[in-house]
A and B are shown apart, each in its own frame.
Chain A
Amino acid sequence: MTDQTAAGGVVLAADGTPLKASLNRALRRNRIRAVMLVAPLLLFILFSFLIPIFDMTFRSVDNWHVGTLMPKTSAALAGWDGKDIPEEPVFVALVADLQAGAKSRQIGKVGTRLNYEKSGLRGMITSSARKSKRLKEGPYKAKVLKMHKKWRDLETWAVIKRNTAPYTIGYYLNAVDMKYGQTGEIVMQPENRRIYGKLFIRTFAISLAITVICVILAYPISFLLATLPLRYSNLLMIFVLLPFWTSLLVRTTAWIAMLQSQGVLNDLFVFFGLVDDENRLQLIHNLTGTIIAMTHILLPFMVLPLYSVMKTIPPTYMRAALSLGANPVVAFVRVYMPQTLSGIGAGSVLVFILSIGYYITPALVGGTDGTLISNQIAYHMQSSLNWGLAGALGAILLASVLALYLLYNRIVGIDNMRLG
């Protein structure tokens, strides 16, 4: 290589261009190539992950229904003081909006939205929209008030006015068991409608329990996997991976067959006289069932990181500790275990985060006290179609997972986590 130095002291490459520029060009080319290689994955994550999350989070505050579909009423209500049923101009606007909404077949969306805040408003809106087709001329106030008793209720008007705003925190209030009171103040839901707070707490408690059980169960298995001779450990590995490759639904239903009160396990208990036939144990369709089935399903996520970390610990460390006079227990606790902490951390974060979002297994085996917040989210996505509330619940769940993750990072340090 014959380095040339130009007059200004700039190092030139073989073709005469400055070396720095030519190096940069080469690096840029490499970077572009690298980006091109991961571009499919990035695009995929963008479309299947980031955009949906953003979309659902946006829905949790979006409140377009009333403002867009009842524009005249919204404008007319802007000056309403909330003390009495509004006057004729509001009703003129209302009838025009109802007629337009009935014609465009969109008015049901307003009814659905309002019904989330006050039961019965869906019926009021849709039936009034149907009847409004027959209203030819004013004055409308008396006619509308006769259509449905809820029009004569001051709270109805307060709910409509509140929801003319383009954004709402109503879904978030609902997601933390609160609501707007009659005069617009924020109050707790009545005792018999509070569910989400309890479910969030239960979800975190169950996930924590499953994580702890997984650590306790996975540790000895991983130790065996890492230390046994290859021919045994390979066999063991297959036992760990085989259920991992089996369909989730198959494994869950297999647990139902095992655990139900006329199932295999109870039959064995009765056969050996551990329980009598009348008092078979209730092991499924409750909390126990959820914990057993989910622990089994998530166990490989704990075993694999632990195993790969343990595999890298040279057996000579333990031998050294023993030869320096430590007894086996002390050597294990003080020399071996600290080296596996990164595996425990990785496995725990994986298992904990996966179990927080689990929903098929609890739905099938959870009964009433074994269902999680994700089951409510699924319910609002699929059945009640209250996507705003589903979005709010999901956003709260996402935020709390991120908070826990940051906490973990602060305490343990994320760089100490290894998957192998």
Chain B
Amino acid sequence: MKKILKSTAIVIASVAISGIATTAQAGDLNVVSWGGAYTASQMKAYHKPYTKMTGTKINSIDYSGGLAEMRAQTEANNVTWDVVDVVISDAITGCDEGMFRPIDIDKEMAKAPDGTPASKDFLDGTLKSECFVPLIIYSTVFAYRDDAWGGKKPTSIKDVFDTKNFPGKRTLQKSPVNNLEWALLADGVPLNKVYDVLDTDAGKDRAFAKLATIKKDVVWWTEGAVPPQLLADGEAVFGTGYNGRWFSAIAEEKQPFAMLWDGQVLDIDGYVVSAKSKNLDEAMKYLKFATDTQRLADQAKYISYGPARKSSGPMVAKHAELGIEMGPHMPTKYADQGFLTNFAWWADNADEMKERFAAWLLQ
């Protein structure tokens, strides 16, 4: 028996230790981001020029989102992450809980080349938290297999919920976020009324009821890399995913997919600085550099996310390696077909909606 206890303890302990991340040396800047093509674009556009200019080494760390690690570091009073790339909803929560440093956007961030103060240069509605400097606009959007239904092509979000005319599996994120909005859109709610309807009990029931009509045709995903894979394997004909992932599947891997921009949900992603960062000065210096007009425009050469500054927009040109025009692949070009996610509504309702969604999945 003792042996069992001991061997079990060793197994558990070794699992625990493998979770402990390696920490970097002091003096270097630890910048945390989402990994994959996105981090690669930031390395090329921000990190390399910054290191060249200042000599400061930047350690790029990957994570999969969420505030768990930041909260753990803050609570343990041992913050090793200096600059973190977060979605705006996490920025708001973390800012309210004191994890992130408030930033005076006009005083501390770079002006546009023509002298416009930063607060006027960032796109309207993107400065929603005083700790947050926006980098990109991305969207969660449907794509479909172009060869799935002969010559027939879906044109609206309603077609996603039409399993008779467009049969096949759909792959959706295993989360109520966005899916409830899409269900209402497909049920005939206009774009600008979605959150008003969702705020009522009847509206929530309506969204879940509409979602139930395709429940048996849905493969749920949890990792952003999965939906392009499922479509490529023919496991699904429709999928929701981040537009940058669809772009690389279509443009770089030449997959037979097409975008359905209708109903795209725009979201904002950007940098925050840890309130307890040990390299606060360096972090702020990096932040000012990385979020200036040129850097944001440079990033768009490597990935199809829209830069968050107005002044960067006209500078977006061709993909640095593929040579294709990036403009038509930017979600901001199709902004009128979608809507900006309502962070405040989700901040209040995510706990309840996610529980209800999990219960709904079990039914």
Contacts and interface: CB of A to CB of B under 8 A. Distances in A.
B347 A382 contact: no
A363 B222 CA distance: 8
B98 A104 contact: yes
Contacts of A367: 219-220
A194 interface: yes
A49 B98 contact: no
Interface in B122-142: none
Nearest to B67: A385
B12 interface: yes
Interface string B90-119: 000101111000100000000000000000
Nearest to B349: A119
Given A49-B16, A123-B348, A193-B355, A385 B66 contact: yes
Contacts of A383: 66, 68
Nearest to B12: A49
A318 interface: no
A384 B89 CA distance: 12
A414 B1 contact: yes
Interface string A89-109: 000000000000000111111
B358 A49 contact: no
Contacts of A161: none
Contacts of A123: 344, 347-348
A198 B355 CA distance: 13
User: Which of B1, B17, B95, B360 has most chain A Cβ within 10 Å?
Assistant: B1
Nearest to B345: A123
Interface in B1-53: 1, 3-4, 7-9, 12-13, 16-17
A193 B68 CA distance: 24
A385 B71 contact: yes
B233 interface: yes
Contacts of A194: 359
Contacts of B96: 105, 107-109, 111, 126
Given A45-B13, A262-B235, A376-B358, A384 B351 contact: yes
B202 interface: no
B13 A49 contact: yes
A419 B233 contact: no
B356 interface: yes
Contacts of A192: 208, 356, 359-360
A119 B344 CA distance: 12
Contacts of B360: 192
A195 B355 contact: yes
B350 A384 contact: yes
Secondary structure dominating the interface of A: helix
Measured as residues with beta carbon below 8 angstroms from the partner, the interface class of chain A is: 35 or more
B351 A262 contact: no
Contacts, number: 106
B362 A108 contact: no
A109 B234 CA distance: 45
Nearest to A44: B13
Nearest to A349: B4
Nearest to A420: B3
A273 to B, nearest CB: 20
A112 to B, nearest CB: 7
Contacts of A48: 13, 16-17
Contacts of A45: 9, 13
Contact of A417 (B4, B98, B222): B4
A368 interface: yes
Interface in A184-209: 191-195, 198-199
Given A105-B97, A193-B355, A120 B4 contact: no
Contacts of B66: 382-383, 385
A195 B358 contact: yes
A115 B7 contact: no
B3 A419 contact: yes
A348 to B, nearest CB: 12
B352 interface: yes
Nearest to B9: A45
B69 to A, nearest CB: 9
A350 interface: yes
B355 A108 contact: no
A195 B359 contact: yes
A385 B352 CA distance: 14
Contacts of B219: 285, 367
User: Which of B66, B96, B102, B355 has the most chain A CB atoms closer than 10 A to its own CB?
Assistant: B96
Contacts of B67: 385
Contact of A122 (B95, B235, B348): B348
A187 to B, nearest CB: 15
Nearest to A124: B348
Contacts of B174: 368
A397 interface: no
Contacts of B344: 123
B220 A368 contact: yes
Given A260-B235, A261-B235, A415-B1, A120 B359 contact: no
B333 interface: no
A369 B362 CA distance: 7
A43 B355 CA distance: 38
A68 to B, nearest CB: 13
Most buried by B among A52, A353, A382: A382
A265 interface: no
Given A363-B222, A385-B68, A120 B348 contact: yes
Interface in A307-361: 346, 349-350, 353
Interface string B226-260: 00000001110000000000000000000000000
A346 to B, nearest CB: 7
A116 interface: yes
Contacts of B356: 192-193
A381 interface: yes
27 contacts: A49-B16, A105-B95, A105-B97, A106-B97, A107-B96, A109-B96, A112-B93, A120-B348, A122-B347, A191-B359, A192-B359, A193-B356, A195-B358, A199-B362, A260-B233, A261-B235, A346-B4, A363-B222, A368-B174, A368-B361, A376-B358, A381-B68, A383-B68, A385-B66, A419-B3, A419-B4, A419-B7
Q: Which 4 A-B pairs have the closest CB atoms?
A: A108-B96, A105-B98, A108-B97, A119-B352
Given A49-B9, A105-B102, A195-B362, 17 more contacts: A48-B16, A49-B12, A106-B98, A111-B96, A123-B344, A123-B348, A192-B356, A261-B235, A262-B234, A363-B222, A368-B220, A368-B361, A383-B68, A385-B66, A385-B68, A386-B351, A417-B4
